[in-house]
Each structure stands twice: as structure tokens, then as C-alpha cells.
Amino acid sequence: MTGRLEGKVAIITGAAQGQGAQEAQTFVTEGARVMLTDVKPDVTQIAQQLGAAASSMHHDVSDEQQWQEVVRKTLSTFGKLDVLVNNAGIFAPARLNETSKESFIAHFNVNQLGTFLGMKSVTDAMRANGGGSIINISSGAGLRGYPEMISYLSTKWAVTGMTKATARELAPFGIRVNSVHPGLIDTPMINGKEGDADWLREIAATVPLARIGTTADVAEIVTYLASDLSGFVTGAEIAIDGGTGL
């Protein structure tokens, strides 16, 4: 039985840990070959663990030249490009009056500019390949408002909007663009409290499905959007939040 992503080639950013690392593992299991990128050196080890179907690069997603090099290396290593997962992101919550200009710009550079540059950089390769799938990791915070998150929310709402605009623009070329909106997912991004069982139980009680999401929950939806099973899905915003946004 072949995997859902058999023969596909993907770039996944922010793949050194958390959701990105899980997405890479799931993609390889499902038959894809994957270029993992991150600013963290751990991305090399993750790629090595995945074997010959994976390669890695150091990559600052806010640098357009580095994006071009990632695409070039992906094409030279694997021969084509079918999927981009714009997963890289930062999250540093703070009250409005305590949010520095530097923090606001840092969120913009990684979460919003990085996503824009990623979509722009892969379009030609996907058009040459006859189509593709771009999956932008937004957030539940990209669908509603939360206090003390102005920097993060501003970028994630932007990702939601950019996804819809780009989905309309790239549809004639067979390139689908969708956004995924994780809620509370057990990763290091949750205030560095990964593994804090008491804290996780407290916040799980606020979720209608009464649990925290896992990186596997997110990876399954991302895999679906990367696969041909979602061939008529574009411009969608898919919440993975256990009902928190209801």
C-alpha cells in the first residue's frame, strides 16, 4: 500500500522541533521526500533520523536570498517541488503597553514576511511542476482575538488573509493554498511549559474536547492538505483546536 504522499517533494520550515518535526516525520512515513529547514542546528539531526528521504538546511525565513537557495537545493536534491509547509513561527506574548517595537518587528519578520517569501519563492517551481500545495500554519489566534498577543495575532491574521488572496491568484496554475489554525498544541511554543502536567491539565479543562492537541493532530491535517485527497480544497481555513473557537 502506497502512502498518501508517495512521490511528492516538500519543504517544511521550522522543522527542528514541535509541529515541524512531526510533519516531516509523517510526510516521510507517507512516502514524501522532504527538505527540512530551521535556524536551529537540531534540524540536521532530525533530517538524519529520517534517512535518505530527508535533507536539511539552515534557513532564516525572513531572508529572501536564503529562500531562493532552499528552493534551488530542493530541486537539485529531489528533482521537483510539490509542497510547501510554512511552519516556522515565533510566539512571545505581552500586554500592548509592554510590547516593544523590536518584538513586534521580530514577529512580523518570521511569521508574516517568512510566509510571504515562502509562497513567492516556490511559485515558479510549482508552476513548472504543473501545480502544488502550499500550507500556511496560522493559528486559532488568526481567527479570533486574544489579549496580550498583539504581535502574534497581527501576523497570524495576516497569514489567514494572505492565504486567501494567494489561493485565488494561484488557482489557475493548479497551486492550492490553505491555512491551518492550531489551538492549544503541546509544543515548546506554549510558554516553554511542554511537559508541565499540572499546567496542561488546567488549560485542557478550557477545551470542549477536554484535551490539549498533539503535534500528530496537526500533522494529519497538513498531510491531507499536501495530498491529492484534498485536490478540490483551496483557500480554506481549518481549525485544529478541539472546539475552542466554537
Q: Cα–Cα distance between 155 and 150 in angstroms, integer?
A: 9
CATH of the domain at 168: 3.40.50.720
Q: Are 90 and 149 in contact (CB under 8 A)?
A: no
In a domain, 245, yes or no: no
Q: Residue 92 falls within a domain, yes or no? A: yes
Report yes or no on whether pTM surpasses 0.95.
no
pLDDT at 63: 98
Note whether residue 206 is domain-resident.
yes
CB atoms within 10 A of CB 63: 15
Query: Does residue 117 form part of some domain?
Result: yes
Does residue 146 have an active-site annotation? no
Residue of 27, 78, 91, 152 marked active site = 152
pLDDT of residue 143: 84
3-class secondary structure, 155: helix
Q: Is residue 1 part of a domain?
A: no
- Is 63 part of any domain? yes
> In total, how many domains does the chain have?
1
Q: Concatenate the DSSP letters of all residues of 15-78 into one string.
A: TTSHHHHHHHHHHHHTT-EEEEEESSTHHHHHHHHHGGGEEEEE--TT-HHHHHHHHHHHHHHH
Q: What is the pLDDT of residue 212?
A: 87
- Dihedral pair phi/psi, residue 115, rounded to 5°: -65, -45
What is the per-residue pLDDT for 149?
A: 85
Q: Kindly state the cell numbers that stand for 232.
A: 478540490
Cell numbers found for residue 53: 528521504
Say if residues 56 and 45 touch (Cβ distance below 8 Å): no
CB half-sphere exposure, 59, CA atoms < 13 A: 34
Q: What is the pLDDT along the chain (246 residues), one digit of tens a residue?
A: 789 999 999 999 999 999 999 999 999 999 999 999 999 999 999 999 999 999 999 999 999 999 999 999 999 999 999 999 999 999 898 999 999 999 999 999 999 999 999 999 999 999 999 999 999 999 987 888 888 889 999 999 999 999 999 999 999 999 999 999 998 888 765 545 445 667 667 778 888 998 889 999 999 999 999 999 999 999 999 999 999 887
The C-alpha cell of 221 is what? 491535517
